[in-house]
Each structure stands twice: as C-alpha cells, then as structure tokens.
Structure 1
Amino acid sequence: MPRSKRLLASIHDVGPGSFTAVEQLIDLFEQRLGERRFAMLVVPDHWGNHPLRDARAFQTRLRAWADEGIEMFVHGWYHRDTATHHGAASFKARHMTAGEGEFLGLDTATALQRMRDGKALIEDIIGRPAAGFIAPAWLYGEGAMAALRQAGFALAEDHWKVWDARTDAVLAKGPVITWASRSRARTASSLAFAALARGALGALPCVRLAVHPGDTTKAALLASIDATLARFVRSHRPGRYADLLA
C-alpha cells in the first residue's frame, strides 16, 4: 500500500568540525531510508571555531551532498548563545539548551544580518537556494521571528511545527523526535521519549526526526535512532521539507 504520510529526517550541526560524525549519521540514514532523501542543517562557523568559509575541502563535500539531493538549511551562524536573557527566555536558555540558543536573544537587525550572511555563504557553496532557516536549538526570540519574515527563506521549523517563513502558514504539526547526549539524565529522557514516539506518533501525517553529531558518541542513542527510523519507514515515506510547499 502506498505510504501517503511523510517522514522528514535531518542531521543538525553540520560543519567542518563535525565531518566524521556526519558521515556516520549519513550511513545510518541511508541504511534505513534507502536514499539521500533527508536534510542537513549547516552552521557557518560553529562556536567561532570552525569557519565554513575557510574550509575548502568541506565546501566541496557539502556541494556534492546537495547535488545528490540532500536539502540544506541555514542553521544559525555561530550556534552559540551569548545574549543575556530575562523572563521566559531565561528559562528556555537554561533548560532547553546548553548555551546554544543563538537566536533566542538577538535583536532584529543582528538576527537578519546573520540570516542573510548565512544564506549567501551556503547558497554560494551549494549552487542553489537553501531550503530554509532553522534556529539553533529550535529557539527563536521576537527579533529572530521578525527577521525571518524579511530574510527570504521559504521554510522554518521549531520543536512543534514547520511553517512557511514568508507567510507564517503552518505546514506540519507535531513534536520533533530528537536525542540528547550531554548528560545521563537527558540521554535517558530522550531514549524514553523516542520509545514513546514510536508507539504514539504513527498516526501523524508528518513525522520529524532530528539527529546531532553528539549522538554518535553513545551506542544506546544510535540504537534508538535506528529503531525509530525502522519504525517510521514502514508507515511514512521519506520526503523533503520542500514537499510541504507543493
């Protein structure tokens, strides 16, 4: 029976410093998806230590992946959050990420400049438009949301939805399935959520799954990712984010 539901899989934090882990995750995806129908979220200069602009060999590889059909999203600029937060943003910065919500506290002008710079750099490398913009840790402040409407991206997503960045129209709903490697407690909770999701999210018309380079450091995480992919490819067709705009 044809699978009308979609599985959108993505590899986050792609850059020169994560090359080996990214290749391992690509191999895992290909074993289950059967083709390069997934997305990569590219960081132009991860934490200021891995500038994509200077990494010629990695640029060549990135373009080859794009030529093979992998969608490329702009994923912040530094990925690191250096802002001072207050109120609800302070809670999100402390509990939803480990200092990586770069776009949570930026003003509109700064957010827009980083979005446009990232878009120009990555599009020049891959030779085609970027698929969209996804903020590090899926966290957007008011300035980032205002900037996103001006930056010229087609798509954006957060923890709970994918939307048209030009019109704010919601294109898919549901929690993204992801994993955490930075502490035992977070690893355990992410494994538990993935197990729950394998049973509870099958009815969704669109399931999203996101992995990170750090996931390759723990065998339990890799096993859970593999089991989750195996579960959803039975009911959902691996697709591209751009399909949501069709």
Structure 2
Amino acid sequence: MAENASAPRSLMLVLHDIAPETWPDYQPFVQAIDEMGGVPMTWLVVPDFHHRNPLHRSPTFCRLLERRLALGDELALHGFYHADDGTPPRSPGAFFMRRIYTHEGEFYGLDQQQALQRLEQGLAVFDRQGWPVAGFVAPAWLMSEGTRQALRQLPLRYTSTPQHLYRLPDFTAIEAPGLVWSARSAWRRGLSKMLCDWQCRRWREAGTVRLGLHPVDMRHKASREYWLRTLRALLAQGRVPLTKSAWLDGQASA
C-alpha cells in the first residue's frame, strides 16, 4: 500500500524499551527534544521489563507517562517482558534468531493462544492506567504467525516491522522506512552510522522516516548525538514530526 501522496513529508521519533529502569538513560535526551519544541514521540512501553520492572510498582514513572500523553505523545505496547523466556528453540534457524540475533524476541516463538494471553495482559495494564493504546510493536520486531493471528483478534490499529507499519486487523502494509542503531560495541556503532547515513541519503525523498531509538543508544555519545543531529537535519528538510497513530491517520485507506 502506498502512502498518501497529498500528505506532507514526515518523521516519527520512536523510543523503544520504555520502563522505569531505562528512563534514566532516556531522560537527558527527552529533555533535549522537549527544548526543541513541537516534536511528539511514540513511547514503546514494556509492562514488566525483564521481569523486574512491573509498572504498578512505579507510580512516579506512570505519572510521567501520563504527562507525556498530555503533551501529545503516544504510548504503544512493546511486548510484556521484553525477554524470550519460552521453551528452548528446536531448529537451527530458531536458535539463531532467539539466541544469537537477540535474546529479547519475546513473541518469536509463541503460538496463537500464548501470544493472545500475553497481549491481553499487556492491554490490561494500559487499561488499568487509563492509557489509550492503538499500537503493538514486538520486541526486536519479531512476531510468530501465532502472534499475527492473535493481533487480528484485538482492538489495536497497527503493528510494525523495521520498514513498514501494518494496519490491523488485516495487516495492510504501509511503507515507513526506519533508521536503527546497534550500539553495544564501538565497531557496531561505527557500522550503524555508515548504514544510517546511507539510508538517509537513499530515503531523502521518502514520505516518512522513522527513528527507532533504544536505551543503549543513549549511553554512548556518538549514538546519542547522531540521533539529535539527524532529527535536526530531518526537521530542517521540512519534515513534520508525528506519532505513529497521527501518521497512520493521515494515510489513505486501502
């Protein structure tokens, strides 16, 4: 599905892995964004990050997220634990995806029933807080077929992968290319910068560009400053910053 040609060029600033323990990483960056003014963000919230950050035990952090909603930001569901603690992988491909590529692909190995239960638990957390929720993003963007089937049963509007947003429940694909870093080591940060610089040139005329940030990006000067510099450059091009939901609202229907 193509983007709405009449919509202005845009960008989406997306903060992954939002939890009480990751907020100290993000706080200086968010303050810098707020000082720019007029840049809404989509916060991907994990209800119980790595089994040690249940939101109900952090009322101060929950009030912070409520203030972000009041400022025009969006909260989306980002897994439940953001940790792959399911049954061990049974094939070489699954072993690679779940133990080498990432240990956080929570929804990669779930069947439909398991995924539905986990998703409903997450939505219940949002409901108890009184937070509106339109989107779900799987940790590491990894979704089993069972997860896809479970999403078709829920009142969510979208999910996403690195290059697309998908309108639910029919999984209509809409191009929304994304930049992302792997910042865990110096060589990864160097490679990420080269790749993202190339992608920025390639997508200069794209209708939208997503910036997918992670807590580890905030711990290194090179990656943190890259995101601030890139955001300023995209804004200077005249791109309009939008949340994911606001961007989806502007797209033509299938």
Measured at CA, do residues 91 and 65 of structure 1 come closer, stay the same or move farther in structure 2, by a change above 3 Å?
A: same
Q: Alpha-carbon deviations, 1:176-231, whole Å to 9, x = none?
A: 11122222332222121222122221111010101111111110111211121122
1:105 is matched by which residue type in structure 2?
A: G
1:110 aligns with 2:114: yes
Distance between the aligned counterparts of 2:190 and 2:85, measured in 1? 28
SS at match of 2:175: strand
Aligned to 1:201: 203
Q: Decide which moves more: 75-84 or 88-97.
A: 88-97
Is residue 96 from structure 1 mapped to residue 98 from structure 2 by the alignment?
no
Is 1:41–2:44 an aligned residue pair?
yes
Equivalent residue, structure 1, for 2:236: 234
Q: Matched residue of 1:17: which SS?
A: coil
Shift of 1:3: 8.3
- Which 10-residue stretch deviates more, 200-209 or 17-26? 17-26
Aligned to 2:79: 76
CA contact (8 A) 1:181 1:214 kept: yes
* TM-score between the two structures when normalised by the length of structure 1: 0.91
Q: Which runs of 5+ in 2 are unaligned?
A: 1-5
The answer to which of 84-93 and 11-20 deviates more is 84-93
Measure the CA separation in 1 of the matches of 2:35 and 2:173.
31
Which of 180, 192, 195 pairs up with 1:178?
Answer: 180
Corresponding residue of 1:223: 225
Q: CA deviation at 1:31?
A: 4.2
State the match for 1:9 in structure 2.
Answer: 13
Aligned-pair identity in percent equals 29
The size of the alignment, in residue pairs, is 241
Aligned partner of residue 22 in structure 2, secondary structure:
helix
Match of 1:62 among 57, 65, 87: 65
Question: Hey, what's the Cα distance between the residues in 2 that align with 1:208 and 1:138?
Answer: 14
Tell me by how many angstroms 1:129 deviates: 2.0
Q: Aligned partners of 2:58 and 2:131: how far apart in 1?
A: 19
Q: CA deviation at 1:54?
A: 1.6
Give the drift of 1:51: 0.9
What residue number does 1:212 align with?
214
- Corresponding residue for residue 22 of structure 1: 26
- C-alpha RMSD of the superposition: 1.9
Q: Which moved more, 1:164-173 or 1:41-50?
A: 164-173
Q: Which runs of 5+ in 1 are unaligned?
A: none
* Structure 1 SS opposite 2:188: helix
Distance (whole Å) between structure 2 residues aligned to residue 22 and residue 238 of structure 1: 19
Aligned AA for 1:196?
W
Amino acid at match of 1:190: S
For 1:19 and 1:106, locate their aligned partners in 2 and report how far apart those are by CA, in whole Å: 28
Deviation at residue 91 of structure 1 after TM alignment? 3.0
Match of 1:154 among 153, 157, 160: 157
Partner Cα separation in structure 2 for residue 95 and residue 177 of structure 1: 21
Inter-partner Cα distance in structure 2 for 1:12 and 1:219: 18
Q: Are the counterparts in 2 of residues 198 and 232 from structure 1 also a CA contact under 8 Å? A: no
Paired with 1:13 and 1:74, the residues of 2 have a C-alpha distance of 10
**Is residue 188 of structure 1 aligned with residue 190 of structure 2?**
yes
Contact 1:171–1:245 (8 Å) recurs in 2:
no
Distance 2:141 2:100 in 1: 13
1:41 shift after superposition: 0.3
Q: Is contact 1:194–1:228 with CA below 8 Å preserved after alignment? A: no
